[in-house]
Amino acid sequence: MRLPNFKRVMRGYDPESVDQAWAEMQQQASDLNAANKELRLQANSLREQTQEFESRLKSYVQIEKDLRDALLNAQKIANQVQEEAQHKAEELLESAHREADSIVNEAKSEAEGKAAELESLIASNREELTNLEQKKETLLILKTELEQRLEQAMELMETATGLLSKKEVLLEEQSQE
Protein backbone atom coordinates (compact mmCIF):
# COMPACT_ATOMS: atom_id res chain seq x y z
CA MET A 1 0.00 0.00 0.00
CA ARG A 2 1.39 3.36 -0.98
CA LEU A 3 1.09 6.53 1.10
CA PRO A 4 -0.95 9.28 -0.45
CA ASN A 5 0.67 12.55 -1.34
CA PHE A 6 -1.62 15.35 -0.08
CA LYS A 7 -1.53 18.96 -1.30
CA ARG A 8 -0.95 21.64 1.29
CA VAL A 9 -3.50 24.28 1.71
CA MET A 10 -3.74 27.14 4.05
CA ARG A 11 -5.18 25.56 6.91
CA GLY A 12 -3.79 22.08 6.48
CA TYR A 13 -4.39 19.49 3.82
CA ASP A 14 -7.00 19.76 1.10
CA PRO A 15 -10.12 17.97 2.43
CA GLU A 16 -11.10 16.67 -1.01
CA SER A 17 -7.67 15.17 -1.57
CA VAL A 18 -7.76 13.67 1.91
CA ASP A 19 -11.27 12.30 1.34
CA GLN A 20 -10.28 10.98 -2.06
CA ALA A 21 -7.08 9.45 -0.66
CA TRP A 22 -9.08 8.15 2.26
CA ALA A 23 -11.60 6.58 -0.13
CA GLU A 24 -8.80 5.08 -2.19
CA MET A 25 -7.16 3.78 0.97
CA GLN A 26 -10.46 2.35 2.15
CA GLN A 27 -10.92 0.75 -1.26
CA GLN A 28 -7.36 -0.58 -1.14
CA ALA A 29 -7.90 -1.71 2.46
CA SER A 30 -11.17 -3.34 1.42
CA ASP A 31 -9.45 -4.99 -1.55
CA LEU A 32 -6.57 -6.03 0.68
CA ASN A 33 -8.99 -7.30 3.31
CA ALA A 34 -10.85 -9.25 0.63
CA ALA A 35 -7.55 -10.54 -0.75
CA ASN A 36 -6.39 -11.23 2.83
CA LYS A 37 -9.69 -12.99 3.55
CA GLU A 38 -9.35 -15.00 0.36
CA LEU A 39 -5.73 -15.81 1.21
CA ARG A 40 -6.82 -16.82 4.72
CA LEU A 41 -9.53 -19.00 3.22
CA GLN A 42 -6.98 -20.47 0.84
CA ALA A 43 -4.54 -20.87 3.76
CA ASN A 44 -7.27 -22.55 5.83
CA SER A 45 -8.18 -24.70 2.84
CA LEU A 46 -4.50 -25.52 2.35
CA ARG A 47 -4.18 -26.26 6.10
CA GLU A 48 -7.21 -28.54 5.87
CA GLN A 49 -5.79 -30.16 2.76
CA THR A 50 -2.41 -30.42 4.48
CA GLN A 51 -4.09 -32.00 7.50
CA GLU A 52 -6.07 -34.29 5.22
CA PHE A 53 -2.88 -35.16 3.31
CA GLU A 54 -1.02 -35.68 6.60
CA SER A 55 -3.87 -37.85 7.78
CA ARG A 56 -3.80 -39.78 4.50
CA LEU A 57 -0.02 -39.96 4.68
CA LYS A 58 -0.25 -41.32 8.24
CA SER A 59 -2.89 -43.73 7.00
CA TYR A 60 -0.70 -44.74 4.05
CA VAL A 61 2.33 -45.02 6.33
CA GLN A 62 0.27 -47.22 8.66
CA ILE A 63 -0.99 -49.26 5.69
CA GLU A 64 2.59 -49.57 4.43
CA LYS A 65 3.72 -50.65 7.91
CA ASP A 66 0.81 -53.10 8.14
CA LEU A 67 1.57 -54.41 4.65
CA ARG A 68 5.26 -54.71 5.49
CA ASP A 69 4.35 -56.55 8.71
CA ALA A 70 1.88 -58.74 6.83
CA LEU A 71 4.50 -59.41 4.17
CA LEU A 72 7.08 -60.31 6.81
CA ASN A 73 4.55 -62.53 8.58
CA ALA A 74 3.56 -64.11 5.27
CA GLN A 75 7.24 -64.67 4.48
CA LYS A 76 7.78 -66.22 7.93
CA ILE A 77 4.72 -68.42 7.46
CA ALA A 78 5.84 -69.33 3.95
CA ASN A 79 9.29 -70.21 5.30
CA GLN A 80 7.70 -72.28 8.08
CA VAL A 81 5.39 -74.02 5.62
CA GLN A 82 8.33 -74.64 3.30
CA GLU A 83 10.45 -75.99 6.17
CA GLU A 84 7.57 -78.16 7.37
CA ALA A 85 6.92 -79.38 3.83
CA GLN A 86 10.62 -80.12 3.35
CA HIS A 87 10.75 -81.89 6.73
CA LYS A 88 7.61 -83.87 5.85
CA ALA A 89 9.05 -84.69 2.42
CA GLU A 90 12.28 -85.88 4.05
CA GLU A 91 10.29 -88.00 6.50
CA LEU A 92 8.19 -89.46 3.67
CA LEU A 93 11.30 -90.09 1.60
CA GLU A 94 13.03 -91.74 4.53
CA SER A 95 9.92 -93.82 5.23
CA ALA A 96 9.70 -94.77 1.55
CA HIS A 97 13.39 -95.77 1.58
CA ARG A 98 12.85 -97.91 4.68
CA GLU A 99 9.77 -99.51 3.14
CA ALA A 100 11.59 -100.06 -0.16
CA ASP A 101 14.54 -101.62 1.71
CA SER A 102 12.12 -103.84 3.62
CA ILE A 103 10.38 -104.89 0.39
CA VAL A 104 13.73 -105.51 -1.33
CA ASN A 105 14.97 -107.57 1.63
CA GLU A 106 11.71 -109.52 1.66
CA ALA A 107 11.96 -110.09 -2.08
CA LYS A 108 15.60 -111.17 -1.74
CA SER A 109 14.70 -113.54 1.05
CA GLU A 110 11.79 -114.95 -0.94
CA ALA A 111 13.96 -115.19 -4.05
CA GLU A 112 16.65 -117.01 -2.08
CA GLY A 113 14.00 -119.40 -0.74
CA LYS A 114 12.63 -119.97 -4.24
CA ALA A 115 16.19 -120.42 -5.56
CA ALA A 116 16.87 -123.03 -2.86
CA GLU A 117 13.59 -124.73 -3.75
CA LEU A 118 14.51 -124.68 -7.42
CA GLU A 119 17.99 -126.05 -6.72
CA SER A 120 16.45 -128.81 -4.63
CA LEU A 121 13.91 -129.54 -7.36
CA ILE A 122 16.66 -129.49 -10.02
CA ALA A 123 18.79 -131.85 -7.93
CA SER A 124 15.79 -134.12 -7.43
CA ASN A 125 15.00 -134.02 -11.16
CA ARG A 126 18.65 -134.77 -11.97
CA GLU A 127 18.58 -137.77 -9.65
CA GLU A 128 15.34 -138.93 -11.22
CA LEU A 129 16.79 -138.36 -14.69
CA THR A 130 19.91 -140.30 -13.72
CA ASN A 131 17.72 -143.11 -12.37
CA LEU A 132 15.63 -143.04 -15.54
CA GLU A 133 18.78 -143.12 -17.68
CA GLN A 134 20.06 -146.08 -15.66
CA LYS A 135 16.69 -147.82 -16.04
CA LYS A 136 16.77 -147.00 -19.75
CA GLU A 137 20.25 -148.51 -20.06
CA THR A 138 19.09 -151.54 -18.09
CA LEU A 139 16.02 -151.82 -20.30
CA LEU A 140 18.19 -151.45 -23.42
CA ILE A 141 20.43 -154.22 -22.12
CA LEU A 142 17.37 -156.33 -21.36
CA LYS A 143 15.96 -155.54 -24.78
CA THR A 144 19.19 -156.54 -26.41
CA GLU A 145 19.25 -159.76 -24.37
CA LEU A 146 15.58 -160.39 -25.21
CA GLU A 147 16.25 -159.74 -28.88
CA GLN A 148 19.19 -162.16 -28.71
CA ARG A 149 17.04 -164.73 -26.91
CA LEU A 150 14.28 -164.12 -29.41
CA GLU A 151 16.75 -164.70 -32.24
CA GLN A 152 17.99 -167.82 -30.48
CA ALA A 153 14.41 -168.91 -29.91
CA MET A 154 13.64 -168.27 -33.58
CA GLU A 155 16.70 -170.17 -34.60
CA LEU A 156 15.72 -172.95 -32.23
CA MET A 157 12.23 -172.82 -33.60
CA GLU A 158 13.52 -173.01 -37.13
CA THR A 159 15.76 -175.80 -36.11
CA ALA A 160 12.85 -177.50 -34.35
CA THR A 161 10.62 -176.85 -37.33
CA GLY A 162 13.28 -178.23 -39.60
CA LEU A 163 13.69 -181.23 -37.34
CA LEU A 164 9.95 -181.70 -37.15
CA SER A 165 9.72 -181.52 -40.90
CA LYS A 166 12.49 -184.09 -41.15
CA LYS A 167 10.79 -186.21 -38.54
CA GLU A 168 7.55 -186.07 -40.47
CA VAL A 169 9.32 -186.94 -43.64
CA LEU A 170 11.06 -189.81 -41.84
CA LEU A 171 7.81 -190.92 -40.30
CA GLU A 172 6.13 -190.87 -43.65
CA GLU A 173 8.98 -192.80 -45.13
CA GLN A 174 8.79 -195.32 -42.33
CA SER A 175 5.07 -195.61 -42.69
CA GLN A 176 5.46 -196.21 -46.37
CA GLU A 177 8.00 -198.79 -45.91
| CA–CA dist 156, 141 (Å, integer) | 22
CA distance readout (Å), 134 to 61, 111, 122, 147: 105, 34, 18, 19
pLDDT tens for the chain, residues 1 to 177: 566 665 666 677 777 888 888 888 888 888 888 888 899 888 888 888 888 888 888 888 998 999 999 999 999 999 999 999 999 999 999 999 999 999 999 999 999 999 999 999 999 999 999 999 999 999 999 989 888 888 888 888 888 888 888 888 888 888 886
CA distances from 159 to 60, 153, 163 (A): 138, 9, 6
The pTM for the full model equals 0.40
8 Å CB contact between 17 and 7: yes
| CA 137 vs CA 19, 127, 133, 142, 146: distances in Å | 165, 15, 6, 8, 14
The domains of the chain are located at: 16-164
